Amino acid sequence: MAGLVDFTNAEEVKEHLNNTEIEFMFGCHKENNQDSCYRLAEFLDTVRKNFTEAGSMYTSCCKKFSNAPCCYKAGQFHMLGKGGLVKSRVEAFKCYHTACSQKNYTDQGKNDTIAAACCNQGMLLAQDTENQESYIDYIKQTDGNDQKFSIVDDVLKSFTRACDLNDGIGCNLLSMYHMDGLQMKVPSNFKLAAKYAEKACDLGNPKACHNLALMYKRGDGVTQSDEKAMEIANRCRELVEGNVALTFGDK
């Protein structure tokens, strides 16, 4: 059948990859299409393993289009100092903030990158005290926030955005925020902590299931129930075992 690639044929595979790269380059540089730019960067990153060009493309795509997937990946590269990008949590934060600030996409995969960026932004704001002032200055500069800016409120906003996008990690972080403040001076609200732990658990986050089981065991924010605690603990165990199996290729 015409158009199919014989992946056992090295020459056909090579030609296919070259044509794919040309297609992405044309879409990005000639048609000015941001999705093509992201696909080109991802191709350079995951297929060509050319991390220097990939990092440059993620960065330019982020700056030019404020494309959430590009900005999230640029942030990851900055966190690792990958692809020639300076290793900097401040530069990473700027990328995460841009991604987290974008409107929802119709594509859930793109929304997942917004959620991941919001989680990272919130965690840096909450726990990276060394660079907090730089983060605050950047948010004020880009968002026009006044002197009433609150780290606590912005962390809550970041995790809420991620959870609203049905991100299990985001909902778990939101639960932990209401549980112990994540090292910030936030009053505990176990009712809200349980609410978001339940959502995160339903989304497949084993840490949230573990915390929710303990809440039912102790009656923190929920009606105490050993039966419910055991049910959720079993769900947590299944999720953990499933993740281990996937890691070792058993499923």
Per residue in 150-187, pLDDT tens?
A: 899 999 999 999 999 999 999 999 999 999 988 888 99
Helix (H, G, I), strand (E, B) or coil at 1: coil
9-47 confidence digits (pLDDT tens) = 888 889 989 999 999 999 999 999 999 999 999 999 999
10 in any annotated domain: no
Is residue 39 located within the same domain as residue 141?
A: yes
Q: Is residue 159 part of a domain?
A: no
- Please tell me whether residues 25 and 110 are part of one structural domain: yes
pLDDT of residue 185: 85
Query: pLDDT (tens digit, 9 = 90+) per residue, 213-248?
Result: 999 999 999 999 999 999 999 999 999 998 744 343
CA dist 114 and 104 (Å) reads: 8
Share of the chain above pLDDT 70, in %: 94
Give the C-alpha separation, 115 to 165, whole Å: 6
pTM of the predicted model, to two decimals?
Answer: 0.91
CA distance 249 to 135: 40
Domain extent at residue 227: 167-251
144 within domain boundaries: yes
27 and 134, same domain (yes or no): yes
